Amino acid sequence: MLDRLRSPMNAMRGISRAQEVIANNLANIDTAGFRKDRLFFHALDQKMNGKDIQSVQPKQIVQLDEGTYTDSGNTWDFAINGKGFFQVEHNGQYLLTRNGQFNLDADGYLIDGNGGFVQGNAGRIHLPELLQFEDEYEEVIIDVSKDGTIHMNDLVLDKVAMVGVADPNGLERRGNSYFAAMGTGGVFRDNESVLNQGFVETGNVNTLEEMTSMMANLQLFESQQKAMKTTDEILQQVTTRLGRFGNG
């Protein structure tokens, strides 16, 4: 009988997790480069120590479809069209991000919003050319081409690295729009993705989808709760009636 209480309990816990994932997706509607999560449940039916064990396991998948692109007009805003990621060195770790709102720091390094160093052809992108100019009246136009090559007037400075992930299921979230490639194969140089200068990629959260799953989850939660209550009522009947019969 206690199993009958436990299985709706597990289900309710799983649904709560799903709702938390939806809450996080919704809270990040306006986060640039955000990738939504989806929680799936799969039923497991296994034999352990000769006993049949049934359980439902949640499984999380980062949805990598693209967001929408908005024109920002800023020199250091990049948006990737394709499956690639920017590579950023943050606190000694090499992380991935789709958020291309970059800036130049005081030492001429290209950094992201968290102070992480954007990676180029050979490590950090360093553009001291933009800080030390002999002729004050020199005209400077920064142009970043579709493949990530940074041009200053006619000079090629560096190339923004775009990397693909060999195992998208192995992406681990690190907050601040970062991902870490924990799967097998790591990352590889992505030559197919296209970089757009002056654009920001918004998140890929679809409100309609999220609301629908949120409502569906609520219904499921309620039915599990009813199941639990019913079990509870049966248990009560059993204890009171059987007790009366025993005393009878």
Partner 1 sequence: MFRALKTAALGMSSQQLQVDNIANNLANVNTTGFKRSTIAFQDLYYQTMVSSKRASALNSVNNDGQELQIGHGSRAVSTIRNFTQGSLQDTGNPLDMAINGEGFFQITMPDGKIAFSRDGNFRLNAEGLIVTPNGLPLAQMIEIPQDAVAIQITADGIVSAQISESPQPVELGQIELAKFVNPGGLRALGDNLYEMTEQSGEPFIGMPGLEGYGTVRQSFLEGSNVDIVNEMVGLITAQRSYETNSKMVQTAEDMMRMVNSLKR
Site for partner 1 contains 230 (CB under 8 A) = no
Whichever of 122 and 211 has its CB closer to partner 1, that residue is: 211
Stretch 149-178 residues interacting with partner 1 (CB under 8 A):
169, 172-177
Whichever of 191 and 219 has its CB closer to partner 1, that residue is: 219
Asked if 81 and 66 count as a contact pair (C-beta separation under 8 A), the reply is yes
Residue 191 CB, shortest distance to partner 1, in Å, is 27
The whole-angstrom distance between residue 138's C-alpha and the CA centroid of its chain comes to: 42
Q: How many residues bind partner 1 (CB under 8 A)?
A: 76
State the Rg of the chain over Cα. Answer: 26
Two tokens at 145?
């081409």
Site for partner 1 contains 64 (CB under 8 A) = no
Stretch 43-62 residues interacting with partner 1 (CB under 8 A):
44, 46, 48, 53, 55, 57-60
Site for partner 1 contains 142 (CB under 8 A) = yes
Whichever of 16 and 93 has its CB closer to partner 1, that residue is: 16
Site for partner 1 contains 216 (CB under 8 A) = no
Any idea which residue has 């709702």 for tokens? 19
CA separation, residue 188 to residues 32, 49, 116, 147 (Å): 23, 43, 20, 15
Whichever of 12 and 64 has its CB closer to partner 1, that residue is: 12
Any idea which residue has 């939660």 for tokens? 221
Q: Which stretch binds partner 1 (CB under 8 A): 82-90, 100-108, 118-126, 239-247?
A: 100-108
CA separation, residue 183 to residues 36, 63, 77, 232 (Å): 19, 16, 29, 44
Site for partner 1 contains 214 (CB under 8 A) = yes
Asked if 143 and 151 count as a contact pair (C-beta separation under 8 A), the reply is yes
**What's 170's DSSP letter?**
G
Whichever of 122 and 131 has its CB closer to partner 1, that residue is: 131
Site for partner 1 contains 106 (CB under 8 A) = yes
**Could you say which of 3, 30, 52, 134 contacts partner 1 (CB under 8 A)?**
30
**Could you say which of 11, 21, 144, 162 contacts partner 1 (CB under 8 A)?**
21
Burial 197-212 (b: 16+ CB within 10 A, else e): bebbbbbbbeeeebee
Two tokens at 199?
């654009």
Pairing of strands 187-189, 162-165: antiparallel
Site for partner 1 contains 239 (CB under 8 A) = no
Site for partner 1 contains 34 (CB under 8 A) = yes
